[in-house]
Structure 1
Amino acid sequence: MPAAKIGAFVVAALLALYLAFTVQRGWIMITDDSTVAKALGVALLALPIVGAWALIAELLFGSRMQRLGKILEAEGGLPEDTLPRAPGGRIVREAADAEFAKYRAEVESAPADWRSWFRLSCAYDAAGDRKRARRSMRKAIALERGR
């Protein structure tokens, strides 16, 4: 199992444990006689609900992204990692930006193809734009799922 997957499972397990403890403390506060404690207990129960939603959403995003990556790999459609790197291992930004234009043009010519959006996401990630990389990957997932 890859180290990234193990790390994700460890973080998810720790978050789940934290959320369980938060629910327990919230329940203790709700069963207290004090009105203030009850109000804080109810507010404290909202945190695990939001946390569980975020955890599930991120795990689903990761598994869907991995599934699409495996499909592209089997088809031979994954972008090759040929970009030059700095001595520290980071991709040279100028090279990533130049490569990015190719994938943006691919999306513009085939906006309904999830494969082009996946490759664009990889290009955004290589260029260091994580926000747009995630948005493009969500678009690829939605297109592949028929939405």
Structure 2
Amino acid sequence: MRIRSVLGAVALTALLTIYVVVVASRGVALIRTGEPVGVVLGLGVLVLPLLAVALVAREWVLAVAVQRMADELAAAGQLPVDELPRSPSGRIDRAAAREAFETARLDAEAHPGDWAARYRLGFAYDAAGDRRRARASLRLAAKLRRDGHRGV
């Protein structure tokens, strides 16, 4: 399953790379016209590929950091296991997700410098359906780990 996920991410990144190259070439072509409107439009068009590259690079860095944290927690026997009840369609039971989130939140608040607690909180946020906060929590966990704070 892990290899399939990585291959999917690589395939999407390759498609995005094609998009970036095509859009950037159009932006350069507009700039090369030498006309003021073309130059301004070309510069504006070049912002999109730069933004796309920056965002994709940020997500790859986070993915690598999350995988390293997962490997470290797994080696210590502390990797959180998703045992939340699910509906027949595969959706996580919201009440169970809220309960698991509360436990993870209290743990993270009790241990603010513990990257492993922030890691678990990130996955609790995800289970509760809050992807934005899940990513923020995982980014903080990666920063804490990188800065040498406690963990495992």
* TM-score band w.r.t. shorter chain: over 0.9
Of 27-36 and 91-100, the range deviating more from structure 2: 27-36
Could you tell me how far apart the structure 2 residues matched to 1:78 and 1:13 are? 31
Aligned to 1:109: 110
Residue 41 of structure 2: aligned partner: 40
Per the alignment, residue 12 of structure 1 pairs with 13
Q: Given the two structures, how large is their TM-score scaled by the length of structure 1?
A: 0.94
SS of corresponding position for 1:81: coil
The one-letter code of the counterpart of 2:24 is V
Q: Any unmatched runs of 5+ in structure 2?
A: none
Once the two structures are TM-superposed, the CA of residue 2 in structure 1 deviates from its matched residue by 2.2
Letter in 1 for 2:102: A
Partner of 1:69: 70
Query: How many angstroms apart in 1 are the aligned matches of 2:3 and 2:93?
Result: 26
In structure 1, stretches of 5+ residues that fail to align are none
Aligned residues: 147
Shift of 1:7: 1.2
Whole-angstrom CA distance in 2 between matches of 1:81 and 1:19? 37
- List per-residue Cα deviations over 1:61-98 (Å, max 9, x = no partner): 11111111111111111112211110101111101111
Give the TM-score, by structure 2 length. Answer: 0.91
Q: Any runs of at least 4 consecutive aligned residues in structure 1 with deviations exceeding 2 A, and if so which?
A: none
Matched residue, 1:131: 132
Q: CA deviation at 1:33?
A: 3.8
Q: Deviations over 1:105-147 (max 9, x none)?
A: 1112111000000011111111111111111111101100108
Determine the structure 1 residue equivalent to 2:141.
140
**RMSD of aligned residue pairs (Cα, Å):** 1.3
Query: What's the counterpart of residue 27 of structure 2?
Result: 26
Percent identity between matched residues is: 39
